[in-house]
Amino acid sequence: MASTEDKAVDKENVSNWKDSIYNPRTGELLGRTASSWGLILLFYLIFYCFLAGMFALTMWVMLLTLDEYTPKYRDRVPHPGLVIRPNSVDIWVNISDPEKYKTAYVKPLESFLESYNDTEQEKNKLCFSGEYFEQEDNKMEKEACQFKRSLLSSCSGLSDTTFGYGEGQPCVLLKMNRICIRLFSKVCRNVVQMSYFPTEGRFDKMYFPYYGKKAHGNYVQPLVAVKLLVSPEDYGTEMTIECRVDGSDIRNNDDRDKFLGRVTFRVKVFK
C-alpha cells in the first residue's frame, strides 16, 4: 500500500508536469509568458516579411533585364528532341474494338490538330518552301507560316476520321522541340511499309526560326505524319519503330539519351 508521503510526491509530479505546459500562477504557456510569445512571433513576422521583400525585390530587378519578345540568351540548340503524337510509346490497336482505339488515339490526335485546321491556318502567312523565314528583330509580333492539316493527307483526320486506326494502318505524327535547327530531314527504320506526309518526310525550313511564345503567338510546329501500312500478315506482331532527325551536326545516336534527335515506339495491330 502506498504511503501518504508517496501519494503527495505523485501529486506534486503531476502538478509540475501540468505547470510545464501551462502555469496558472504565473500565466506561462510552455515556459513563456504571453508578452514573451508575442515578442517572438513579432520577430519572426518581421524577419520573414523582410526575406519575402528581398526575394520580391531581386525578382523585380531581374525581370527588368528581360524582354518579353527577345530571349536573353539566343544560343542555338544543336540537337533537337523528337516526339510523337499520340503521346504513347506503346500503340496497341484492336480494330475490333473501335471505342477503345478512338478514346486512346483518335480523340487525342483530333484534339492536337485543332490548331492546324485550314480555317485557322489561313490567318497565317503563306511562306516560300525551302527558305528560312527570318524576321526583323525590331518587329515585336512575328508572323507565322501556314501549316494546314490537309498537308497530312490521309493522316489528317479529314478524309479518314479514324486516322487509319479503323483499318489497322495507324498514323503517327512526328514533331520536334520548338528550337531553331539547321537540318530537317527525317527517316524511320522500315520494319513495316510506311507512307510519309508531306511526301518528302521533311520539316521545311520556312517554319524556322522560332521566336518564342510571346512574339510568335500563332506559331504551330511543323509535322510529319507516318502511316504504318500494316498488312494482315503482321497482325499480332509487335513492331519496334525508330524515327530520327538526320543531317549534319545532328546527334541522334547517343545511347545515354534515347530521345535526342530520335524517338522509338512499339506498334501492335490485332483483331
pLDDT tens digits for the chain (271 residues)?
455 555 554 555 555 666 667 677 666 776 677 788 888 899 999 999 999 999 999 999 988 887 666 656 555 555 667 889 998 889 999 999 999 999 999 999 999 999 999 999 999 999 988 888 988 877 788 899 999 999 999 999 999 999 999 999 999 999 887 556 444 445 566 678 889 998 878 888 899 888 888 888 889 999 999 999 999 999 999 998 888 776 555 655 666 666 677 788 899 999 8
Between CA 69 and CA 267 the distance in angstroms is: 41
Between CA 175 and CA 115 the distance in angstroms is: 14
pLDDT at 213: 81
Between CA 187 and CA 262 the distance in angstroms is: 9
pLDDT at 55: 95
Between CA 123 and CA 135 the distance in angstroms is: 18
> What is the amino acid identity at position 264?
T
Between CA 77 and CA 182 the distance in angstroms is: 10
pTM over 0.75: no
Alpha carbon of 233 to those of 96, 181, 230, 269: distances in Å? Answer: 16, 40, 8, 10
Question: Among 224, 92, 111, which Cα is nearest to 170's?
Answer: 92
